[in-house]
Amino acid sequence: MIKSPLQSYLQNISQAVSAFAQAQEEPWSYDLPTDLGNIETVVMSMDGAMLLTREDGYREAMVASISLYDELGDRKHSIYFGASPEYGKSAFKNKFDQEARRIKSAYPSATYLGIADGAKDNWPILRKYVHHELIDFYHATEYLSKVSHAAYPQKTGKPNGKKWMDEYWHILKHEQDGGSNNS
């Protein structure tokens, strides 16, 4: 009969691995590739997920990416990082600031775009580094869905609401100015 490991054993191992990774974080560095060509656009994005922790209830884990694009819009390099759940996001903010400053120094003339969901506390982090702020497609479609339900609330209006929503999802995704106030 195969026995399952004790929960405390698994917790101790995960804590030891985490402590080792955190201790090595500073020495683990890398150089940006030097053969990327002309970087025209830098996209900085972030998102969080609420995770239920055993002792503290829900806390937010964060992830981010910084991607470099050439003049044709081809992605040349991406940096991905995250932080485990923490109050105040201080470790995440520090890591993001460190990476963002490094990229801004390497590509000062690029156009910088920030992409995130509607969470208010993400924008002050991004705003320091980007020229333009965009809501990500997934969250934008959530807002369109809410508008559709408000505009066509009755059961008989559902087909019209779905048609309206599909039309605006298409506009948002495929048209050059689909996300502007003019659409």
pTM score, whole prediction:
0.72
For position 1, what pLDDT does the model report?
A: 63
* Average confidence (pLDDT) over 62-84: 93
Which residues have CB under 8 Å from 168's CB, separation 6+? 144, 148, 183
* Number of other CB atoms surrounding residue 107 within 10 Å: 18
What residue segments make up the domains of the chain, in order of their start? Answer: 37-135, 136-183
Tens of pLDDT, residue by residue over 33-66, are: 888 999 999 999 999 888 888 777 888 888 999 9
Residue range 37-135, CATH number: 3.30.420.10
Mean pLDDT of the chain: 84
pLDDT digit string (tens) for 115-164? 998 788 888 999 999 999 888 888 788 888 888 888 888 777 778 888 88
Find where tokens 């996001």 sit.
89
DSSP state letter for 71: T
